[in-house]
Amino acid sequence: MGIADLRNAYHHRICNEIIRLQNDGGTCYPNFADKGNRASRAIAQCIVNRLGCTSDGKSLSGQTAGGLFETITQNFIEQAFSLLHHLRPGHWCYSTQMPISDFDQYEHLANLEKIVEHDNELAAALGTDYIIKPDIVIGRWPVSDTEINQEQTILIPGDASVSLSPLRQANLKHIRPILHASISCKWTLRSDRGQNARTEALNLIRNRKGHIPHVVSVTAEPLPTRIASLALGTGDLDCVYHFALPELRESIIETENDDQMDMLTLLIDGRRLRDIGDLPFDLAA
């Protein structure tokens, strides 16, 4: 099974488990479109048609749809990333809603949080939102000396020349995975939802002890002008990934929306927006 097969299966699950056709006051639209925006409804409907969704089933709350989007996206990433094991070997763990303090670069935040909880002045000065739970996390487990020496003798027991790196399991009192990627999932982008992802990204960048993990976002938002609120600029997120970028592009062409096409072209050419199929490869870089 290749990436294209996994991508098709990913869309099939989203169609069956999340996408619903809503009818509100005679206005029909998919549940990832903005009812009050004609372009959003038209583009979303074209995407649904291209994916072959039947849009049957009971209506879902936004929270339920968002939770399913996280789970299905995590499953796709795990399966797709495993295909690239020869490019990015390691023992990997995948989870949704796992606190960053469970990872090596951020384990100190648990102690900091305990201190701040009992000191109001310190809490007022430093804030309290240290330990976030990204929608999806990918971690790499430290390796044993046996694994390190698999092909040749690189380390000997007690080797003091490599005594601090968290990748070496023998250096650790408490074995924790190293955070490789933090993935924010946004079923849609409305109002300040994009800013939440930026805030999480800044938290990951500023509070780490070690390397910065990949920090990305995945969305099904049909309007490039709204995706731009999250994707434009650099420094916070590595990149934004659309759950069906070629289908989005074709749908905008079909609806003849020049403004949305101009923004989509800007995001793609500016290397700020890619397809979900690109994500496993970028994680392997």
Concatenate the DSSP letters of all residues of 160-224 into one string.
Answer: GGG-S-TTBGGG-SS--PEEEEEEEEESS--TTHHHHHHHHHHHHHHT-SSPPPEEEEEE--S-H
> What is the reported pLDDT for 129?
63
> What is the reported pLDDT for 192?
60
> What is the reported pLDDT for 274?
98
Angle at 239 (CA atoms; ends 212, 229), nearest 5 degrees? 115
> What is the reported pLDDT for 23?
81
How far apart, in Å, are the Cα atoms of 23 and each of 27, 41, 57, 72, 99?
5, 12, 13, 25, 38
Over residues 120-137, the pLDDT tens digits come to 666 555 555 667 899 999
> Does 278 have pLDDT greater than 70?
yes
Cα(254)–Cα(115) distance, integer angstroms: 57
> What is the reported pLDDT for 84?
97
How far apart, in Å, are the Cα atoms of 15 and each of 3, 56, 112, 246?
18, 9, 43, 16
> What is the reported pLDDT for 211?
94
- Reported pTM: 0.92
Lowest-confidence segment of 80-84, 129-133, 158-162 by average pLDDT: 129-133
Q: How distant is the alpha carbon of residue 176 from its chain centre?
A: 21
Cα(186)–Cα(47) distance, integer angstroms: 17
> What is the reported pLDDT for 199?
85
Over residues 193-216, the pLDDT tens digits come to 667 888 889 889 988 999 999 999
What is the chain's mean pLDDT, rounded? 91
| Residue 112 vs residue 263, higher pLDDT | 263
> Does 118 have pLDDT greater than 80?
no
> What is the reported pLDDT for 130?
62
Cα(182)–Cα(136) distance, integer angstroms: 6
How far apart, in Å, are the Cα atoms of 94 and each of 2, 7, 97, 217, 250?
20, 18, 10, 16, 32
Q: In DSSP terms, which residues pair with 27 in a beta bridge?
A: 24
Which structure tokens are listed for 268? 């793609």
**Closest listed residue to residue 215, CA positions, set 199, 249, 192, 238:** 238
Residue 258, classed as helix, strand or coil, is helix
Which structure tokens are listed for 273? 């927006």
Over residues 1-10, the pLDDT tens digits come to 899 999 999 9
Per-domain residue ranges for the chain? 62-98+133-141+177-283
> What is the reported pLDDT for 188?
95
Cα(278)–Cα(264) distance, integer angstroms: 17
Query: Going by C-beta distance under 8 Å and a sequence separation of 6 or more, which residues neighbour residue 51?
Result: 11, 14, 15, 19, 244, 247
**Closest listed residue to residue 183, CA positions, set 272, 270, 69:** 69
Are the C-beta atoms of residues 136 and 143 closer than 8 Å to each other? no
Per-residue three-class SS string for 92-118: EEEEECCCHHHCHHHCHHHHHHHHHHC
Cα(168)–Cα(189) distance, integer angstroms: 40
Q: What dotted CATH number matches 62-98+133-141+177-283?
A: 3.40.50.10010
